[in-house]
Amino acid sequence: MQKIFSGVQPSGNIHIGNYLAVIKQWVALQEKSDCIFCIVDWHAITVPYEVKALQQKIKEVASIYLASGINPEKSVIFVQSQVKEHSELAWLLNTITPFGDLQRMTQFKDKSKKLQGNVNAGLFNYPVLMAGDILLYQTDLVPVGEDQKQHVELARTIAKKFNSKFGETFKVPEVSVLKIGAKIMSLTEPLKKMSKSDPEPSRIGLFDTPEQIRKKIGSATTDSDKEIKFNPKEKPGISNLLTIYSLFADKPIKDIEKEFQGKGYASFKSALADLLIKKLEPFRNKKAEFDKNPEFIEKILTDGANRARKIAQETMQKVRTVMNL
């Protein structure tokens, strides 16, 4: 069976854009592949983070995985730091990764700029840790958003280099760039992408309450026209809301335009709010469930780490042997 590995960082506020672009699309892969979905806490701490909130964030990502339909009986869900082999392999891969390759990573350049040079070595080596994540599990396919493509390509390069230096050890993984056909834009500034770090009214969080959803959709930026038509250039706000509606309702935009022909923005927004409230209910429920009963998620993560560790240990045994460690 094809082996799939991917991960999400327990950082920031995971919103509907993140969900639609990545996690929602993983769910279908479970049927015909062996999937491992990681919560990559060691990546999340490469930028300043709220120390006290980290465990809460980890549990939130686990709830999101479960609420999205990832089945822990079938797929492995685990926390990166619970399988120490990730750090061991990352260190070893560091010794064959050219400094220049890491300097070229666009995400590193972007993040360094944002941090105004206040950058730690972990942020620089982040792609090597990620290569380790992937290679530990002899992964065939890595489904990620466009922004992570360069990192997976580096993982391929590192795998090939390791294999030619020390002998066939790693599967060389393929990248699958997930496409949703449209970016989800900010609700308040619809020409900008919805972002984990922008002010609250600009995004719908997966755990938002019905009241928050209604309020944010109600005050989403539109235009002074009345027509519910998809036209991202002239009507970016309404077009973005149509995209969101279409992806959550699994209906083509054309049908939604027809449905709301002649009805005003207010009635469209109110229908969209209803839809989101309904579709995000599983997320609120899963979170409430783990707030009440944290052992439930802890057990899934411990079990996942045990399953992951077994595979990781086998790979590390090979790596130590070929490197003569």
- Subset of 55-74 contacting ligand TRP (CB under 6 A): none
> Site map for ligand TRP, 195-224, x if CB under 6 A?
------------------------------
Residue closer to ligand TRP by CB (options 76, 276) is 76
SS3 317: helix
Residue closer to ligand TRP by CB (options 154, 242) is 154
Stretch that binds ligand TRP, among 2-10, 61-69, 184-192, 196-204 (CB under 6 A): 2-10
Please state, in angstroms and rounded to a whole number, the distance separating the CA atoms of residues 129 and 233. 40
Active site residue 193: yes
Instruction: Pick one of 142, 184, 256, 276: the residue that binds ligand TRP (CB under 6 A).
Output: 142
Stretch that binds ligand TRP, among 128-136, 179-187, 192-200, 218-226 (CB under 6 A): 128-136
Task: Say which of 3, 24, 111, 149 is annotated catalytic.
Answer: 111
Please state, in angstroms and rounded to a whole number, the distance separating the CA atoms of residues 10 and 8. 6
Please state, in angstroms and rounded to a whole number, the distance separating the CA atoms of residues 169 and 317. 10
Instruction: Pick one of 34, 60, 85, 133: the residue that binds ligand TRP (CB under 6 A).
Output: 133
Residue closer to ligand TRP by CB (options 80, 221) is 80
Instruction: Pick one of 93, 134, 182, 187: the residue that binds ligand TRP (CB under 6 A).
Output: 134
Instruction: Pick one of 130, 159, 182, 256: the residue that binds ligand TRP (CB under 6 A).
Output: 130
The minimum distance between CB 173 and ligand TRP, in angstroms, equals 9
DSSP for 48-86, please give it: ---GGGHHHHHHHHHHHHHHHT--TTTSEEEEGGG-THH
Asked if 6 is part of the footprint of ligand TRP (rule: CB under 6 A), the reply reads yes
Please state, in angstroms and rounded to a whole number, the distance separating the CA atoms of residues 282 and 15. 14
Please state, in angstroms and rounded to a whole number, the distance separating the CA atoms of residues 95 and 90. 9
CB neighbourhood size of 102 (10 A): 17
Active site residue 279: no
Asked if 144 is part of the footprint of ligand TRP (rule: CB under 6 A), the reply reads yes
CB neighbourhood size of 49 (10 A): 16
Residue closer to ligand TRP by CB (options 34, 238) is 34
Residue closer to ligand TRP by CB (options 197, 267) is 197
Residue closer to ligand TRP by CB (options 142, 273) is 142
Whether 91 contacts 318, CB under 8 Å: no
What contacts 130, CB < 8 A, 6 or more positions away? 40, 43, 151, 152, 155
Active site residue 183: no
Residue whose C-beta lies closest to ligand TRP:
7
Task: Say which of 24, 171, 193, 229 is annotated catalytic.
Answer: 193
Round to the nearest angstrom and report the end-to-end CA distance of the chain.
31
Asked if 148 is part of the footprint of ligand TRP (rule: CB under 6 A), the reply reads yes
Whether 56 contacts 209, CB under 8 Å: no
What contacts 305, CB < 8 A, 6 or more positions away? 78, 79, 82, 83
Kindly state the tokens that stand for 221.
């930026």
Please state, in angstroms and rounded to a whole number, the distance separating the CA atoms of residues 35 and 44. 22
> Site map for ligand TRP, 32-51, x if CB under 6 A?
--------x--x--------
Q: Which residues are catalytic?
A: 111, 193, 196
Residues near ligand TRP, by CB under 6 A? 5-7, 9, 40, 43, 130, 133-134, 142, 144, 148
